[in-house]
């Protein structure tokens, strides 16, 4: 059971916009930055979003992050076949003194 809650799966067709939610609590998302990672099959996770809504250089602006209260979401617009991957949210938890992850969302591009 993960501390952060994500839907196990999401899907969309090419060109569509999809969103992935991440729900936490006041000790993690509510008081710290949210990070999003993309993990393609057989590879290490890659940073997509940091500090709730900031994109590292090289990440397309099709990817965007937002946070409100104890929840966050990742939006992917103009969906492409290469976006098919697992997506994870994470945040520091002040009560646990630990990084906590969501269980991951498998995105399928139909």
Partner 1 sequence: QVQLVESGGGVVQPGGSLRLSCAASGFTFSSYGMHWVRQAPGKGLEWVAFIRYDGSNKYYADSVKGRFTISRDNSKNTLYLQMNSLRAEDTAVYYCAKDPAYCSSTSCYGPPGIDYWGQGTLVTVSS
Q: Which residues bind partner 1 (CB under 8 A)?
A: 2, 32-33, 35, 37, 44-47, 50-51, 56, 86, 88, 90-92, 94, 97-104
Provide the minimum distance between the beta carbon of 36 and partner 1 in the complex, in angstroms, as a whole number. 11
Residue 98, CA distances (Å) to 59, 60, 90 in order? 27, 29, 10
Nearest to 89 by CA among 62, 54, 52, 42: 52
Instruction: Kindly state the smallest distance separating residue 11's Cβ from partner 1, in Å.
Output: 19
Instruction: Count CB-CB contacts under 10 A for residue 4.
Output: 25
Considering the complex, state which of residue 35 and residue 73 has its C-beta at the smaller distance from partner 1: 35
For residues 24 and 102, which CB has a smaller minimum distance to partner 1 in the complex?
Answer: 102
* Residue 14: CB minimum distance to partner 1, A: 26
CB 89 within 8 A of CB 10: no
């Amino acid at each position: 059971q993960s501390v952060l809650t994500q839907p196990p799966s999401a899907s969309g067709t090419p060109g569509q916009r999809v969103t992935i939610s991440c729900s936490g609590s006041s000790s993690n998302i509510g008081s710290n930055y949210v990070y999003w990672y993309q993990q393609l099959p057989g590879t290490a996770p890659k940073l997509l979003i940091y500090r709730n809504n900031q994109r590292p250089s090289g990440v397309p602006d099709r990817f965007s992050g937002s946070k409100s209260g104890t929840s966050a979401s990742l939006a992917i617009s103009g969906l492409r076949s290469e976006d098919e991957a697992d997506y994870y949210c994470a945040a520091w938890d002040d009560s646990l003194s630990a990084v906590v992850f969501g269980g991951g969302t498998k995105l399928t591009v139909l």
